[in-house]
Each structure stands twice: as structure tokens, then as C-alpha cells.
Amino acid sequence: NAGVTQTPKFQVLKTGQSMTLQCAQDMNHEYMSWYRQDPGMGLRLIHYSVGAGITDQGEVPNGYNVSRSTTEDFPLRLLSAAPSQTSVYFCASSYSLAGGKETQYFGPGTRLLVL
Amino acid sequence: DQQVKQNSPSLSVQEGRISILNCDYTNSMFDYFLWYKKYPAEGPTFLISISSIKDKNEDGRFTVFLNKSAKHLSLHIVPSQPGDSAVYFCAASDGGGADGLTFGKGTHLIIQP
């Protein structure tokens, strides 16, 4: 099992550009989520999904879109990048719908710099 | 308003001694708590968890204690080893839905030889 994979590892964008951060898991997990980590901060939830076709907003959803067309993939889209979105992005997945009670497995992260 | 607080940004401990990392929370709806360990340039990895119906959970060198009345939990690492040097995040969930985890800011543990 590859676990949770994320691409790219690092990306530089100019303000206003769009891009998609990819996340995939091969563990047949129903629950997937996206977090961002900023310096001196904990991880903050952006969006999550409890299964294919179902997504919802987390704590900091503004500026991000998600979709879940398959169980395996959960891409995060930045429609118009802003410097405030400079961060490290982590994707996570777990078996059950109750994402808090089950161990969440994290990907290695995508480091994004918006100029 | 921070619901999960780790008030020590860093902690230095000698190899072989006990490391104690602390975490406080304010949301009384939290009923499940986890500790994650993170090395630089890697994603967090799960370390240990505890349900609110327990006050202690052990896994090898790692023990988590939960004091619900004080809304406080701690992670004990005994004995501390060089590979334990990492950032440790405390996280909490109300478990009632799929709202993900609420994380603290992390404590950077440094194990000195």
C-alpha cells in the first residue's frame, strides 16, 4: 500500500493563478480531508468528505473547492491563489465516517508558495 | 479562539529521562483525543489516542493521561530516545460527526544526548 499520496511536493504560484493539489489513497477509506499548516499554528481543517459525492466545509474553506468523484481521490482546487494561501497542505484519510475517532493517516504534504 | 492549547512551543529533555508534553482544551464536547508526531518535511503520524471514558492509555513507552475535570491531557514518553525528537501535536474531536480534528499548535520536543 502506498497509503496517502500527494502531488506536487512543492509549488510556486503567482497571485491569481489557479491550481489543483492532488490527493489519493489506496486504503479504501471513506473519510478524507484537507488541512493547512501555517508557521506556529496547528493544522486547520479546510474541507472534508465522508464518501464519494459528499463534501463539506471545515474551519477555513474560503478560497478552496473540493470534489470527490471516486473513493480514492480528493483534489483541492485553488481558483485564484492569494499570498494568504501560502502554507503547507496535508491530505488525510480514515476508515470511518467519524473522522475523529478513527486514526487519520496523513500524506507527506504539499508546500505552496504564492507570490 | 483556540480550543486546543499546547502552551509550550518547545521542550528539551535528556536522553533516557521522561518527556511530559501537556495539552489543554476548552470545548467540553470533545470526547476523543489523539497525539500525532511530525518530523520535518513529513506528514503527521498517529502516536496514541484516548477516549473520554478512560483516564489513561499506554502503548509501549508512550502513555497518555486525561483529566476531564481539568480539561487537560498529557503525553509521557519514558525513556526518551533521540528518535523522539519531533513536533508533537495534540488533537481532539467531538466524535459526533465528521468534522475532523482540532489541533493544538504543537510542541517541539528535543532529546539531548
pLDDT computed for residue A42 by the predictor: 86
Contact A75, A19 (CB under 8 A): no
Which chain A residues are closer than 8 Å to B107 by Cβ?
none
Instruction: Give the number of other CB atoms < 10 A from CB of residue B37.
Output: 21
Mutate to test the interface with B, among A37, A50, A74, A96 (most CBs of B within 10 A): A37
**DSSP H/E element including A6:** strand A4-7
Contact A95, A31 (CB under 8 A): yes
Mutate to test the interface with B, among A101, A110, A111 (most CBs of B within 10 A): A101
3-state secondary structure of A69: coil
CA B71 to chain centroid = 13
Q: Is the pLDDT of residue B97 over 90?
A: no
Residue A50 near chain B (CB below 8 Å): yes
**Chain B residue closest to A37 (CA)?**
B105
Which grid cell sits at B48? 496514541
Rounded distance between C-alpha atoms, residue B6 and residue B24, angstroms: 7
DSSP string, B73-101: EEEEESS--GGG-EEEEEEEE--SSS---
| Contact (CB<8Å) B4/A42 | yes
If you count them, how many residues does chain B have?
A: 113
pLDDT computed for residue A106 by the predictor: 94
B102 versus A14: the higher-pLDDT residue is A14
Lowest mean pLDDT among B30-34, B63-67, B85-89: B30-34
* Average pLDDT score over residue span B2-26: 96
3-state secondary structure of A86: coil
pLDDT computed for residue A1 by the predictor: 74
Rounded distance between C-alpha atoms, residue A110 and residue A20, angstroms: 11
Closest CA to B108 of B89, B92, B83: B89
Per-residue pLDDT of chain A (115 residues), as tens digits, is 789 999 999 999 999 999 999 999 999 999 999 999 998 888 999 999 989 999 999 989 999 999 999 999 999 999 999 999 999 999 999 887 555 567 789 999 999 999 9
Q: What is the average pLDDT value for chain B, to the nearest integer?
A: 93
| Contact (CB<8Å) A43/B44 | yes
* Average pLDDT score over residue span B67-83: 97
Percent helix, percent strand, percent coil in chain B, to nearest 5: 5, 55, 45
* Average pLDDT score over residue span B45-57: 93
pLDDT computed for residue B1 by the predictor: 73
